[in-house]
Amino acid sequence: MALPIRDQMKYWGLALAIFMLALWFLGDIMLPFILGGAIAYFLDPVADRLEDMGLSRVGATVLITLLAILLFVVAVLAVIPTLVQQLVSLFNMAPDIARDLQNFLTTRFPEILQPDSAIHQTLLNLGQAIQERGGQLLQGVLSGAMSLLNVVMLLVIVPVVAFYLLLDWDNMIAEINRLLPLDHAPIIRKLADQVDHTLASFIRGMGTVCLILGTYYAVALMLVGLQFGLVVGAFAGLITFIPYVGAILGGALAIGLGLFQFWGDWVSLGLVAGIFVIGQVVEGNILTPKLVGSSVGLHPVWLIFALSVFGALFGFVGMLVAVPVAASIGVLARFGAERYTESRLYKGLAGKQPDE
Closest CA to 308 of 326, 327, 328, 292: 326
CA of 344: how far to CAs of 30, 59, 104, 349, 354, in Å?
A: 44, 54, 67, 8, 14
Q: pLDDT of the chain along its 356 residues, tens only?
A: 467 777 777 877 888 888 778 777 776 677 778 778 888 888 888 899 999 998 899 999 999 999 988 887 776 676 666 666 666 666 666 666 666 666 666 666 565 555 566 665 665 665 565 555 555 544 544 454 444 455 555 667 888 888 999 999 989 989 988 888 887 788 888 888 888 887 777 777 778 888 888 888 888 888 888 877 777 888 888 777 766 676 778 778 787 777 777 766 778 888 888 888 888 888 878 887 777 665 555 676 777 788 778 777 776 667 777 777 887 888 888 888 888 888 777 777 665 555 55
pTM above 0.85, yes or no: no
CA distance to 179, 202, 267, per residue, from 183 (Å) = 12, 30, 67
Domain residue spans of the chain: 28-171, 200-294, 297-341
How long a stretch of residues is the chain?
356
Concatenating the DSSP letter of every residue in 95-164 gives: HHHHHHHHHHHHHH-TTT--TTSHHHHHHHHHHHHHHHHHHHHHHHHHHHHHHHS-HHIIIIIHHHHHHH
pLDDT, position 230: 78
Q: How far apart are CA 112 and CA 106, in angstroms?
A: 8
